[in-house]
Structure 1
Amino acid sequence: MAESVLSRPDVPVADPPAPAGLADFADLARAVLPPEVWDFVDGGSGAETTLAANRRALDRVAVLPRVLRGVHAPSTRARLLGATHALPVAVAPMAYQRLLHPDGESGLAAAAGAAGVPYVASTLSSEPIERIAEAGGAVWFQLYWLRERGLVADLLDRAHAAGCTAIAVTVDVPVLGRRLRDVRNAFAIPPHVVAANLPAGRDDLAHAAVPGVSAVAAHTGEVFAPAVSWADLEWLRARTDLPLLVKGILDPRDAALAADAGADAVVVSNHGGRQLDGAPATATVLPEVVEAVGDRCEVLLDSGVRGGVDVLRALALGAHGVLVGRPMLWALAAGGRAGAQTALDLLAGEFTDALTLAGCVDPAAARELRTILVD
């Protein structure tokens, strides 16, 4: 039997090939992350049916390209919330990014700034919002509603003072979804990674490993308000003059209510399949949400986006833009800020190719494309 290369110390093992597309970063990240951290990033809630549905729904969307349009070098620039960005894309809010790489949130924010796309900083960032905002580029602040209204007001004041250009309030976490991988792993955040935007000591529960318990769920159950209402959204709208996004919308009726309450955008999101298992895929409900809000606010798609073709699909279904989540964490894990920059460069290239092949001169033209659903 031939001897395996892996068993011969005199034969060097080749480095893994450079990523050719955004999705390639998944294997690179899995190779370097501890299994329990990979599960924390990759997993969904319950049986992970909604997690899987997000991809299936996007893959079912076939875009009908236009031809003979004379398109050779389309523009990828798009307006989101009154500002022009290099792509109709923002980096989604994701917690504890120093868990993936020491570059953490400031590294990913710097990569987003260099790519010309907004970075959405989470309330549960492992670096303070002030440091993230200093990394450059447009930073939106994602707000989780905390039990103490004073802390919510303080976070808003800090976001304003740091120069954030929008506020994104997440509304689909009355409690954290039951994420079984984390429960089985008794997953806890290591002590060197903290919720840097919260007062010191407020995240102690997140570090306490208990068999059969997700420490992250225990922590959020302690600090998050479980019964946020439309009245709270009205308070928030009155508290900030910044553009306001409402993230976590699935029912078109809620989208209409958010627009009525003064939201500048709604984000159609099932939290990446990490909240209510059995909720629909975001691409499935997106057209109904777009119809429900009309021209009263913008609509963005979150959950399941894995490349430039998915951005095109979302636009063709009526979205103004998308939030990209897990692939950016994979890239951060694999190569820090440089890895994230490579991923965003690849995404820009993928989206440019998709626009060209679809006969679209720019993202606005992509919103005029027709789609059909295929099996």
Structure 2
Amino acid sequence: MKEELHPKSPSADEQLSGTAGQQHTVHNVDCKICGDKASGFHYGVHACEGCKGFFRRTLRMRLQYEHCDRNCKIQKKNRNKCQYCRFNKCLSLGMSHNAIRFGRMPEAERRRLVHVTTPDSDSLVSDLVALSQRIHSSYMSTFTMTKTRARDILTGRSNISPFVIYDMETLWQAEKGTVWDQLLTQNPPGTEIGVHVFYRCQCTSVETVRALTDFAKSIPGFSTIYLNDQVTLLKYGVHEAIFCMLASLMNKDGLLVAGGRGFVTREFLRSLRLPFCHIMEPKFNFASKFNALELNDSDLALFVAAIILCGDRPGLMNPSQVEDIQERILSALRRHLQTSHPDAPFLFPKLLHKMADLRQLVTEHAELVQSIKRTESSASLHPLLQEIYRDMY
């Protein structure tokens, strides 16, 4: 991957010292839960990394999911849609719950699961609080357009009055320096308007990818991961994180751009010709539901960190190491939400569900981008984004 996505690599000694252990793989065996390729015999059944991590996270964090009586069919393509039915299927197929059925489980894993049933110690809580504060501080110093700042602008509480872009004329005015610092040489640009909006979306994405790479480096534990795994986590995680943070810049009428200096109306984006009119509309639909959760910047910092450190990304050399780091972040997020949202007991599992929604949103976005590349000869793709999308889905 290009230089922007290459965090600092651990030393050869670190990589060879066992920081990332070996992953045992079971060949030609399907996961009993979702049908994906099983990675081993986990908690009593053959399971994939995704279902293993889901079950372990449910146990460790004592999660309770909203009831569902539809008996949803759990498959690889939809396994993240209904957490209640997925967990019930884990139990019905023999994965242990309260009385852990250890079977062939390694001793280290057995000790870790026994530890789940013990109360959280004061020192552990203190460590999670410190982790939350460290990630929040890094998030606020890395990203200038925070949710707090964006909501102040969108609700008129800020002294910033964004320039409204609602048609072709106002877009070209914005390009003349009213909104964007990067001035175009042509006036108006020689490209068709839909292609130009696609270009602007890419500019913003590239800037955010670079910021997310810096943020990832600051997450405790990230620098200990294999360099190849760091790149894989960023490749698959940056767009999920981008669309999560993008929701903070949106309301039902449009979105802020250029650090709040501009506001592009939703109707203008809808008015673009096919396929460009489909670029942003799914993001607005996601944002309306995501913003209803009323997360603050400290919540979002931990959520974005958890998105990046996702242990079921394809091609990871040591997924269990990534899972361990993510679960610590998720534990910190769960504790933090209990404090910041005491009246929303289901907020944490809802956020885990939003991770699945973001993954689907990115899949659809990647398909649209690849379609635009094939059908629109004048719509080029930034090299960094090309590298991210290559072999992604």
TM-score range, shorter-chain basis? under 0.3
- TM score, norm. by length of structure 1: 0.25
More strand by share: 1
More helix by share: 2
- TM score, norm. by length of structure 2: 0.24
User: Which of these two proteins has the greater Rg computed from alpha carbons?
Assistant: 2
Higher RCO, Cα 8 Å, sep 6+: 1
